[in-house]
Amino acid sequence: MFGLIGHLTTLEHAQAAAKELGFPEYANEGLDFWCSAPPFIADNITVTSVTGQKIEGQYIESCFLPEMLATRRIKAATRKILNAMAHAQKHGINITALGGFSSIIFENFNLEQFQHIRNIKLEFERFTTGNTHTAYIICQQVEQASKQVGIELSKATVAVCGATGDIGSAVCRWLDAKTDVKELLLIARNQERLQQLQDELGRGKILPIEEALPQADIVVWVASMPKGMEIDAKVFKQPSLLIDGGYPKNLETQIQHPGVHVLNGGIVEHSLDIDWKIMNIVNMDVPARQLFACFAESILLEFEKLYTNFSWGRNRITVEKMEQIGQVSRKHGFRPLLVES
């Protein structure tokens, strides 16, 4: 069985979704309540591969909300993720994806040191961040959607915002090794890590965001959006392609300009319908067919009976592992979400 650990985008979203999640009594509760609410299984899922194989899974609502980080309730946030992981393991789930902020919190707060959660010793090989599949799908979106909007990669400048993160660095490695992208622009807050990435790639210009965006034909956004930051759509080239790989997706509402094509990054489409409610709750455009690539990674690992933390740690994603998960993704009927024609 596969598992998906996720969370809602805001307190308001959580209150609105409480009834659909099966807990109508949570609908009027504030942040303090959500800080203490335990994780629960909110969905039982069946997924069918194009090969005919069927697997079962469960969605675990962690009750984490991004406001917990914004209000410095770090202990509540970290407890949410660890408790959800323990809940998945207790229910015998073989491989579980840490969706949304879950993997970021796990990494940033070094939660691997907390292996004992009450009477459960967490077995980390049962969990994956899903970042390898996410990075692969974003790279496929770059390669395929650029053709759709008339951008030739061999003449294109690609800016990666969040280049030193787990997904961002993997995207840079792939674009360097597997495409003929003309120029890479590397954007991130940590200058030391940027320098290390540039040294590893042997290429790429390190630029501040305000200098990089006007030069880019394609922007891959895999960084958190700083609070209050607004982007003027007029700074972008036309045509340009902007791939929003963050969660929640917030660039499409900010940037509405003819010639600037915004694509929800890290989203896959399945060839067959999936009967679940969670993708309705997170407002996916086609909920029966579309899902986050990180969630799909645990589904793929379950199909292949690869019970291992396929994506784990920071900046360990190789081009070879991206190719491996990509091959499995295609085999079972998943494809990257592309620009609507």
Q: What is the pLDDT of residue 229?
A: 73
Domain range 135-266, CATH architecture: 3-Layer(aba) Sandwich (3.40)
Instruction: Please give the average per-residue pLDDT across 202-216, as a whole number.
Output: 97
pLDDT at 341 over 60: no
pLDDT at 284 over 70: yes
- The CA distance from 70 to 208, in Å, is 24
Specify the pTM. 0.96
Spatial neighbors of 110 by CB under 8 A, at least 6 apart, are: none
Scanning the structure block, which residue is given the tokens 């840079």? 172
Q: What's the count of helices (H) and strands (E) in the chain, helices before strands?
A: 13, 16
Where do the domains of the chain lie?
2-131+269-327, 135-266
Query: Are the CB atoms for 273 and 280 separated by under 8 Å?
Result: no
pLDDT at 224 over 90: no
pLDDT at 301 over 90: yes
Confidence of residue 214 (pLDDT cuts 50, 70, 90): very high
Which range is least confidently modeled, 48-57, 228-237, 275-284?
A: 228-237
Instruction: Please give the average per-residue pLDDT across 158-178, as a whole number.
Output: 97
Q: What is the pLDDT of residue 340?
A: 73
Q: What is the pLDDT of residue 227?
A: 63
Q: What is the pLDDT of residue 226?
A: 63
Q: Please give the share of the chain, as a percent, with pLDDT higher than 90.
A: 90
Which range is least confidently modeled, 113-122, 126-135, 239-248?
A: 239-248
The CA distances from residue 57 to 48, 90, 112, 120, 274, in Å, are 11, 14, 24, 21, 11
Instruction: Please give the average per-residue pLDDT across 139-158, as a whole number.
Output: 97
- The CA distance from 264 to 283, in Å, is 12
Q: What is the pLDDT of residue 250?
A: 66
Instruction: Please give the average per-residue pLDDT across 65-70, as a whole number.
Output: 95
Q: What is the pLDDT of residues 8-33, one digit of tens each?
A: 999 999 999 999 998 999 999 999 99
Instruction: Please give the average per-residue pLDDT across 308-318, as a whole number.
Output: 94
Q: What is the pLDDT of residue 36?
A: 96
Query: Are the CB atoms for 98 and 128 separated by under 8 Å?
Result: yes
What rounded mean pLDDT belongs to the chain?
95
Instruction: Please give the average per-residue pLDDT across 139-151, as a whole number.
Output: 97
